[in-house]
Each structure stands twice: as C-alpha cells, then as structure tokens.
Amino acid sequence: MTRKINAPVIKDMKQAKLQYSRKLPTIAQFDALEHWLIVLRDTDAKQEWPIFPYSAALQKRYNRLQQDRDGGPSVLITDLPNDKACRVALATLKPEQPAFSILTLSRKLINGHRDFHPTELGIAIVGFSPKQSERVAEAVLAAALAAAADMPDYRSKPEKRGRLELVKLHGVATKHGFRRTFAEDAGNALARYLTALPHNELTPALYRERITRLAGEYGWESQFLGIKQLEEKKAGAFLAVAQGSPHKDGGILHLRYQPAGGASTGGLALVGKGICFDTGGVNLKPHNGMVGMHEDMGGSAVALGTLLALTRLKVRFPVDCWLAICTNHIGPDAYNPGDIITAVDGATIEVVHTDAEGRMVLADTLVLASRAEPGLIIDYATLTGACVYALGKAYSGVFTNRADLLPDLIKAGVDSGERVWPFPMDDDYDEALESKFADIKQCSADPGADHILGARFLKRFVKNDCPWIHMDLSGDNHKGGLAHIPTDTTGFGVRFTLNLLLDKKIIK
C-alpha cells in the first residue's frame, strides 16, 4: 500500500524579504543588525579604505590577516567593538573576477555566519561602480538565500536554526529588486531538497505525489503516463527499466506552464532523468557505486526547479516539463544484457549494460517531448561516470545538435557561475553503437567516451530536428558545496538555464 505524504513538498519555501539602498549604512543602521557581510573593492594595501561604519578598525584587522597568509585575499570574520558585538564577514574583491569566483567568495562570507542562523542580515557593497556593485550584490544575495534554504534533516534532534527573514542591502542601485535571483533560488532549493531526500521518502509514487501538489499550487497542467499507458504507447525503452521494480509506480509525468496571453506552441521543453534509486539492475553496482544512488533523479529535480523558476518569473513562452520517473531494481523481471527492446518510435535497441538505464528512460521521453516540435529541448541527467572522469565535479558536460549554440553554452556557464564544457558530437562516434541485431546499441561494451556515446544515443530519439541540449550533470554533487551553494547536493543547472534563456535568448 502506497504511503501518503502529509508534510509540505518542502518544509518551508518562504524566502527572506529584501530591502535595498544605494547608500552605505550609517552607524545606527550598522549597530541595529548583529550580522553583516561586507565586500570591498580590492585596492592597494597601503591605500585607505572608503569611509563606512568601523572601516578603520576593520582595515587594520584585515591587513593583519593578510600579512599572516600567503596567496589571494581571505575572508575576515570578526566581532565589532560595539554594544552588540556585531559579527562581520568581510572580503576584498577585484571586480573583473569571473562569476564563479565571486559566488565562491560569497559562500565563504555567509559561512562565517552559518552557526548563528541569523534572522536578519546586512550586506554592504563598498567601492564599486553601479554596474559592478549590482553584480557583486547579486552573488552575495544568492549565497545568502542558498544558505537559508531548507534541506532534509531526519535526526532525532535536528539542528535548531532561525529562518532568514530580512536582508538589508546597502551600496546598490537596482531597478528589478533581484527578482530573478529569488526565482533561481526557489528553483535551486526545490531541486536540492528533492535530490537529497532518501529513497524511502521519494519512491516514484511519493515523488509524483509531491510534484502533483506543486502543479496544483502553480497552476501547471499535469498528465501522468503510467505503466499501462506506456504499454499502450509501446514505450519499451522506459518499460524495460521500470519492469524490474516490484512496485509498478513508475511513469512519465508531463507538466505544462502556459503564459497568460502567450504563444501556445513552440517554447521550451525540459526533460529530466528521474531514477529514484539505481541499483544498476542485473549489472549490479558495487557498494561504493551504490552510495548516493537516491540522487540519480537529480536531473528531473533540476528540470522541475527550472520550471518553477520560469513560472515565478512569468516568462512569455510556454514550458513543457517531461519527467521520466522510475527505479532501476534488480529482480526476476529486470531487463538483461542482450535483450532487444523496441522504443516508442519503433526503433530497436540492443541492451548491453543494465546500468546504462538513464538513456533508456530518456529515449522514450525525448520522443514524446519532441513530437510537439518545441523551439528548444533541454534534458538534464546524471547520465555517466565518464563525464565525471573527464571534467571532475566542478563542471557539467553539455552536448547539442546545434553547433552554433556552443559559444552561448560556454558563455552561459561562465556568466552564471555554473560552468559547463561541450564535447564533440561527430557522426563517426555512432560506429561504437552499431548493432548486428538491432537499430542501435544502448552503449558500447568497450571502454571509451561513454558520455559522448550516451549523448549520441539520445540524439537518435530527438525527432523533428528540434534544437536540443543535453546536460550530463557531473557537477550535481560536490563535496563542501560549489560556487554559492553550501551543500554537497548542488542543484546544478537552474541558474545556468535561466542565464541561457533570459540573457542569451536562445529560444527563437
């Protein structure tokens, strides 16, 4: 019997309120808050800092800190000699630093307050030009919001923490109130929270229930293609993976955001791999490979988080979200190497390795998503270990069937701080996927560039020549956090995608 969820999808999605001013704080404003983050434009060590509350005392302490260490600027964490002993985290920054470096510094600043869980936080941006100050402030705000987001905690005595309720931002002039930063944070927080849930709290049935509740809250159209419906559609690639589970609760969930008065065709399709637990199937993973496999649904969580962010921003184009949700279990009904599977488009697939299940569930999902001829498809998947071997966990890999998009993909990674790197997609890679018994092999039995072969396999199932981007999320989990994200689970992809769509404007 399926357990029902009584708790909210996330414990608390409430975000802090923001107040901002182009003026630096006064002494009275400074003393009114117990926690401050200060970012100062990097200057010559002998040069006097601009005047702001306690600047002289802070400069002396910062210079002593710099003298005691080698290398680049460090973060000063100190208490001020005032009645409240205000806690300050301060760093200097060269404005030309890339986004990743600014976001990383911002995470270190907010970490200086992590143990106190402030309910109110002051941020002062000092010495930058108006455009520079807005860029730096956005990064610091993003880090503060990311640190405040709820994450699953099942300890009998969970950590007591206050909720960040107010951020007072000084030294910044902005017309938009960082609306996009708040939307990105909501999407990223959702992706991280869902990805971090243990499998017994996020089976396919429970996952679907959580998403259905979100759909009702945000007005998304929702259609679930369960096992019976997928059997009718002859979606054999998805069903091959799902059949190993004793619980027939898998399926493909289709959500749709339709803007008021906007176009009803074209737009964006987001596709996500949602393997709620991956044992590897008959090709069973070793113990070390099994650890963390409850996060193999991270691609679907990023797709869902991106949908949430775009919905909050009320974008003017429709967004479809296709989530391939199931488990890859071992059992008497599990699929086997050597099986010949027929996908929903009629293509036959020779199974080589049952732990290459992600490309199987995505194959049918991509066919269904591309039949509507969207203006762009982006799929997200923790697809291959080969991409981790190639890039490590600080980048994610990207692939596309439109070579002209490659500069925008790289630039979106640089500008967003969620860095990506493209890989080749030449036709001759398909030689490794040639089968004597079927239209295509699922993967190659020989060692090699499986991340590229996985992308070539998926491209086979993108119909109608739709523009398509595949993200192999090697950066979805990074020990100690990544950029502005303080948790191992990073939610990598939401911020990147919004930059790609809203700044690079790649949807025609």
Q: Tell me if residue 359 is catalytic.
A: yes
- Catalytic-labelled residue, pool 41, 359, 393, 459: 359
Say if residue 337 is exposed, middle or buried (CB neighbours under 10 Å; 0-12, 13-18, 19+): middle
The encoded tokens of residue 113 equal 């307050």
Q: How far is CA 81 from each of CA 25, 78, 87, rounded to the nearest angstrom?
A: 17, 10, 10
Contact 297, 230 (CB under 8 A): no
Q: Tell me if residue 135 is catalytic.
A: no
Tally of CB atoms within 10 A around 60: 10
Q: Under DSSP, is residue 323 helix (H, G, I), strand (E, B) or coil?
A: strand
Contact 444, 453 (CB under 8 A): yes
Tally of CB atoms within 10 A around 149: 22
- Catalytic-labelled residue, pool 61, 285, 402, 504: 285
Q: How far is CA 161 from each of CA 106, 117, 211, 481, rounded to the nearest angstrom?
A: 20, 6, 27, 19
SS3 track for 364-399: HHHHHHHCCCCCEEEEEECCCHHHHHHHCCCCEEEE
Distance between CA atoms of residues 369 and 357, nearest Å: 19
Nearest C-alpha neighbor of 186 from the set 217, 155, 230: 217
Q: Which residues are catalytic?
A: 285, 359
